[in-house]
Structure 1
Amino acid sequence: MHRSLAGAAGLVSALALTAGLVGPGLTAAGAPTPPASAPLSSAPAASASPASASPAPAERAAGPTRPAATLLYFHDAHEIGPVLTGGQDRGGVARLATAVRTVEERNRATAVVFGGDLAGGTLFGGLYQGVPMVEALNEVGVDLANFGQHDFDFGVDHARDLVAASDFPWITSNLTTTDGTPFVEHGTWAVQRVGAVRVGFIGLTDAIETTTAAADLVERDPVEAARAAVADLRAHARADVIVAVTQYPMDENRELVRAVPGLDAVFGEEMAEYDSVIEYEGDVPLMASEGNIGSLVRLDIRRERGTDRRPGYQVRPSVIEVDHTVTPDPALREVEERYAAEMDERLSEVLADVRTPLLDPEQKSRSQETALGDFVADAFRAQHGADIGWVNGGGLRAEAPGPDFTLRDAYSIAPFANRVMHVRVTGAGLLRSLEDAVSRVQDAGGGFPQVSGMAYTYSPSAPAGTRVSDVRVGGAPLDETATYTVAATNYVVGGGDGVTGFADAEILVPLADAPVDAETIAAHARTLSTIDIEPEGRITVLP
């Protein structure tokens, strides 16, 4: 049943009132399987031997008869409205609703699976933190969800609020609290009856270390967690088909299928912004839809003679585009337009004039000094009056060409809602952090440090660990025995991009009291009034 939309404000109020994490029709582990769905449960790890790959089926296209059950899969739902990038017009919850209902009209035995990531990650996600997306997906009629790391960008409590506001259950097989309790109670797996087919689901998430929940969650090994979830599922419920919903790319999903017997299909994370990808490991399809709700992966489950691994059923994937050819659902289109207008009004505030454009051509901030990087590092340093400002180049997500610098620019540059912490670190720790941060420059790794209040030289061709030299803080050579104050995001301080030197830093402004990075940038722009900054030799690149 679909809810009528009440807007973000109504949902925010509902977050505190919605009770329970188990969706309608789901029961506790060990209870008899009800007509529509089966239990959610959790279990300790179980061991299993690796599965051997079998040949992919010769015929992969869906036949003309109606399948016994259909699964529709999408993920990466950061934007509520259509996305206009790369010359394409894709996505939007209004088109998604139409695409889903078109399939449902032809086969009532259809379930909708969301793979995760509806908060943070983009300007819209940073501003609204996933709240409008939950309400929209309630209306679309999602039946089950797995977590993406961005669903924890605003902490575990906010993620729990999103779960409580959802009309659909969320599962995770590998995320626990620090005491080992599953993050979702009774939610390490699910079995749902789709038509006559009992479909089992497990869910896997990675990259929790990149979120503000890093200190509150434990990310278990995916193979170990998947084996345990599948074993517990089979011990407590009957499933005709088992599907893994993961936030992993193709190579990791191949390893998962090899290591965990009994998986019949894998829904994974996007491999390309504009292309859906379907590959096979043996006869198990590995599927990824486009980013930003650009497509649905359709998995038809057909009752056939089958193979030895899957007697009675065959799974056959295909792709449904969610683009300009799809007529938007009128009610959800109104919601999209309302949020677009609200964002436009909210973000149009002019904070400063831009005299020299803040550009980042070809993402140069990942490998050399840029005016954009200098500006943001200056903002962080000014916020806390620190000796050093530090921002990872991969965290700079947009340019600000001017002539006006608006609130939209601030949130576009820093859409992840990281917090700007203030820490005290030894010179030795600072040097180790610099070495860590430049170690993946050749791979365009996002850790490359844009800095304020300091300067350094590095050679990308030198062996990792020996690339940094001539480090100066406040114009003086770095003293490895001295201590320095640093303003950097919780992502960097927490070890993001492999930076280890802040592990023993003294926390001067803790995460709970630290300002959001976009607001820090906005405040700095207001103070400057005119932005006129060019690279000044803070970073010297040698051969």
Structure 2
Amino acid sequence: MAPYILWMPKNSVKKRKEVIVLLKTLQGRKLLISLIVVTMIMGSFGGIFAFADSSTATKITIFHTNDVHGRIEGSSSEIGYAKIAGYINAFRAENPNVLVLDAGDTFHGLSIATLQRGESVVKAMNALQYDALVPGNHDFNYGYQRLLELEELSNFPIISANVKTETNESLLTDYIIKEVDGVTIGIFGLSTPETVVKTNPKNVEGLTFEDPSLIAATMVSQLKDRGVDVIIALGHLGIDSESVDTSYKVIDEVEGIDVFIDGHSHTAFENGKVIKNTLLASTGEYSKNLGVVEITVQDGKIVEKTAALLNRETFNEIEADEELQNLIGKISEEQQKVLSEVIGETKVRLDGERELSRKQETNLGNLTGDIFLHWTNADVALVNGGGIRASIEAGKITKGDIVTVFPFGNVLFVKKVSGAALKEALEHGTKSYPDLAGGFPHVAGMTYAIDLARPVGDRVVDITVKGEALDLNKQYILATNDFLAAGGDGYTMIKDGEFVQEMMTMDEAIVQYIQEVKVIEPQVEGRIVVKPAPVEETAPDEDVNPVEPKPVEKANITYIVQPGDWLSKIAIKYNTTWQKLQTVNSIKNADLIFPGQVILIPAQ
């Protein structure tokens, strides 16, 4: 695909007084307040936001984001697009020498992005006036054909020079050239070759992701031939030690890149990082920061380049752009119709209550694990109870139900781990039992028992995988979510496992599965069993002068719920009442007990 060249008209920096008068006239008080706040913020950063003396030098400000993962709405920890737009618009009013770039993993993530397969994000980015985006691995999650459709909907180019088709042509635009106040800037894109395993392979079937360093060298050469003043690499490579092709590697192997704006590893460089003569910048993740790079060019040469991050707190006093805020609100409102779409039916209540999912086997935990295995063909699946946030009543299931139960946008992850690591994971996840724990491990493809007679850290026993005893020395394929795969909830033993594949979000996986099977009826199957500690009996002391024996005080009994049990049945067996059992065991719903659950039978 030919380079995308957009020549921007020259602009001189307007006097601050003139801008304020204009803003009062055309845009009202809110933007004026934002302008004042932006001016204060700019002042607090010292030189990075100093305005240029157009007679001697040109200063260009590049705002950038990466790894937003659909977080276009603001929150207490995330800036959101409307506030970012409010800030940039106020800044542009005083200094029009601005570019806005995104380093990928943007069109996919939360449901506001996935329900419209990225289109909602494109609409918001158009309103924010982005200049370019490089696609990350998750931007291919809808298939590369959908990515091309999203490019057609966008007012900005999607660029990547190292993604090739079967005919060895570039799938996307290699680079763009922008002119800003007389300065020509060449921007080329690089997408991670890990995309072939960090999205479903079918999404990129027929594509090749070429060596970023080799392609970067070619792009630098071509852009220099075009006579550009500044060369920017817009990459989704990251700096993870497990990655082969990183931004570090490209910078080390390729000279001539002035600025490298990066994504993928969710790294936040507070003030950028200078390697050789390249300034590397990245904002972290989820629109928690807005990146700012400022370049000063004099006589066609860069004389200064700096980087900074503006965090969420910086935006507390910034007015959100009203137009974009309304657009996002409208998108959210329209999606309520999508969320109300019926995707299938459940014959039983799907139990996701906190008191259950963080302590014992549930049918919803089993269903989730089974769906993980369905899409990945892994040996075993592990689901943290804290990731299950609600129940679904028997009857029709909507997309909204699934998003409510799994609201975090977690991604399905596949890793290779040893049997020893699996046992360690189960010990870790059950160490707090019988107390509630967000890391409580629901499983599929395997079973285990918690033996309360054994010490914490060595009380998970009878572990089986596909009906056979766990082999501590064997390697198993594990399906889980990206949170646990990264060591979340303390599962460091999973983090250390070998990466195999990254797939769709959990809510997508579950929605598609239910749409496929139409009717579900998951059960509690005894995958997790609790073995109670035995009650110790003390032998009576021999007494030479026996006295009248005292009545023997009977001990309480612990009973393990079996399949087919209900509270009244257990009460009759032990000559008590179900009401007493409910009270003693603090059972909220007397009709809701599960196999493996421990019931205390009070002494009679």
Whether the TM-score (by the shorter chain) exceeds 0.5 is yes
Once the two structures are TM-superposed, the CA of residue 228 in structure 1 deviates from its matched residue by: 1.9
Once the two structures are TM-superposed, the CA of residue 126 in structure 1 deviates from its matched residue by: 2.1
Contact (CA 8 Å) 1:83, 1:90: kept in 2 or not? yes
Aligned with residue 292 of structure 1, among 286, 289, 297: 286
Alignment partners' CA distance in 1, 2:287 and 2:353: 32
> Compared with structure 1, are the counterparts of its residues 531 and 181 closer, same or farther at alpha carbon in structure 2 (3 Å cutoff)?
same
What does residue 353 of structure 2 align with?
Answer: 357
What does residue 11 of structure 1 align with?
Answer: none
Alignment partners' CA distance in 1, 2:277 and 2:423: 36
Aligned: 1:190 with 2:180: no
Give % identity. 20
Once the two structures are TM-superposed, the CA of residue 145 in structure 1 deviates from its matched residue by: 1.5
Aligned with residue 263 of structure 1, among 250, 257, 262: 257
> Compared with structure 1, are the counterparts of its residues 272 and 164 closer, same or farther at alpha carbon in structure 2 (3 Å cutoff)?
closer
Aligned with residue 247 of structure 1, among 227, 236, 241: 236
What does residue 374 of structure 1 align with?
Answer: 366
Alignment partners' CA distance in 1, 2:276 and 2:252: 9
What does residue 79 of structure 1 align with?
Answer: 70
TM value normalised by structure 2: 0.57
What does residue 336 of structure 1 align with?
Answer: 328
Alignment partners' CA distance in 2, 1:391 and 1:122: 26
Q: Which has the larger radius of gyration?
A: 2
Q: How does 1:135-284 map to 2 (within 5 A)?
A: 135-184=123-172, 187-206=173-192, 207-208=194-195, 209-212=197-200, 213-235=203-225, 237-250=226-239, 252-269=246-263, 278-284=272-278
What does residue 92 of structure 1 align with?
Answer: 80
Contact (CA 8 Å) 1:380, 1:390: kept in 2 or not? no
Instruction: Describe the SS at the equivalent of 1:339.
Output: helix
Q: How does 1:494-513 map to 2 (within 5 A)?
A: 498-499=499-500
Contact (CA 8 Å) 2:107, 2:117: kept in 1 or not? yes
Match for 1:330: what amino acid?
A: E
Aligned: 1:326 with 2:318: yes
> Compared with structure 1, are the counterparts of its residues 296 and 179 closer, same or farther at alpha carbon in structure 2 (3 Å cutoff)?
same
Aligned: 1:313 with 2:303: yes
Contact (CA 8 Å) 1:417, 1:518: kept in 2 or not? no
Once the two structures are TM-superposed, the CA of residue 249 in structure 1 deviates from its matched residue by: 2.5
Once the two structures are TM-superposed, the CA of residue 313 in structure 1 deviates from its matched residue by: 3.1
Contact (CA 8 Å) 1:397, 1:415: kept in 2 or not? no
Deviations 1:493-513 (A, max 9, x none): xxx96449xxxxxxxxxx9xx
What does residue 561 of structure 2 align with?
Answer: none
Deviations 1:452-489 (A, max 9, x none): 455699xxxxxxxxxxx98653x4689xxxxxxx9999
Contact (CA 8 Å) 1:437, 1:498: kept in 2 or not? no
What does residue 112 of structure 1 align with?
Answer: 100
Match for 1:284: what amino acid?
A: T
Which protein, 1 or 2, shows the higher relative CO under an 8 Å CA cutoff with sep ≥ 6? Answer: 1
Alignment partners' CA distance in 2, 1:439 and 1:227: 44
Once the two structures are TM-superposed, the CA of residue 267 in structure 1 deviates from its matched residue by: 0.9
Match for 2:511: what amino acid?
A: E
Aligned: 1:65 with 2:56: no
> Compared with structure 1, are the counterparts of its residues 275 and 259 closer, same or farther at alpha carbon in structure 2 (3 Å cutoff)?
closer
Contact (CA 8 Å) 2:102, 2:130: kept in 1 or not? yes
> Compared with structure 1, are the counterparts of its residues 378 and 299 closer, same or farther at alpha carbon in structure 2 (3 Å cutoff)?
closer
Alignment partners' CA distance in 2, 1:395 and 1:154: 26
Once the two structures are TM-superposed, the CA of residue 244 in structure 1 deviates from its matched residue by: 1.3
Alignment partners' CA distance in 1, 2:264 and 2:133: 16
Match for 2:309: what amino acid?
A: V
Q: Which moved more, 1:348-357 or 1:197-206?
A: 348-357
Match for 1:202: what amino acid?
A: F
Match for 2:151: what amino acid?
A: V
Alignment partners' CA distance in 1, 2:311 and 2:279: 19
Once the two structures are TM-superposed, the CA of residue 60 in structure 1 deviates from its matched residue by: 8.8
Alignment partners' CA distance in 2, 1:78 and 1:266: 20
Instruction: Describe the SS at the equivalent of 1:113.
Output: strand
Once the two structures are TM-superposed, the CA of residue 159 in structure 1 deviates from its matched residue by: 0.6
Alignment partners' CA distance in 2, 1:158 and 1:344: 23
Instruction: Describe the SS at the equivalent of 1:119.
Output: coil
Q: Give the length in aligned residue pairs.
A: 423
Structure 1: runs of 5 or more not aligned:
1-19, 27-33, 38-58, 421-429, 458-468, 479-485, 501-510, 539-543
Deviations 1:186-207 (A, max 9, x none): x222221122211111211223
Contact (CA 8 Å) 1:143, 1:168: kept in 2 or not? yes
Once the two structures are TM-superposed, the CA of residue 117 in structure 1 deviates from its matched residue by: 2.0
Contact (CA 8 Å) 2:175, 2:186: kept in 1 or not? yes
Once the two structures are TM-superposed, the CA of residue 254 in structure 1 deviates from its matched residue by: 2.8
Once the two structures are TM-superposed, the CA of residue 161 in structure 1 deviates from its matched residue by: 0.4
Contact (CA 8 Å) 1:126, 1:417: kept in 2 or not? no
Instruction: Describe the SS at the equivalent of 1:128.
Output: coil
Alignment partners' CA distance in 1, 2:463 and 2:528: 16
Deviations 1:126-176 (A, max 9, x none): 212110111221121111221111110010110110111111112112211
Contact (CA 8 Å) 1:242, 1:263: kept in 2 or not? yes
Once the two structures are TM-superposed, the CA of residue 409 in structure 1 deviates from its matched residue by: 5.1
TM value normalised by structure 1: 0.63
Once the two structures are TM-superposed, the CA of residue 260 in structure 1 deviates from its matched residue by: 0.8
Contact (CA 8 Å) 2:357, 2:385: kept in 1 or not? no
Aligned with residue 129 of structure 1, among 87, 111, 117: 117
Deviations 1:279-321 (A, max 9, x none): 222453221124222332222221358xxxx944321223334
Match for 2:127: what amino acid?
A: E
Match for 1:117: what amino acid?
A: D
Q: Which moved more, 1:60-69 or 1:409-418?
A: 409-418
Match for 1:347: what amino acid?
A: L
> Compared with structure 1, are the counterparts of its residues 168 and 415 closer, same or farther at alpha carbon in structure 2 (3 Å cutoff)?
same
Alignment partners' CA distance in 2, 1:197 and 1:341: 42
> Compared with structure 1, are the counterparts of its residues 318 and 441 closer, same or farther at alpha carbon in structure 2 (3 Å cutoff)?
farther
Alignment partners' CA distance in 2, 1:119 and 1:533: 39
Contact (CA 8 Å) 1:205, 1:248: kept in 2 or not? yes
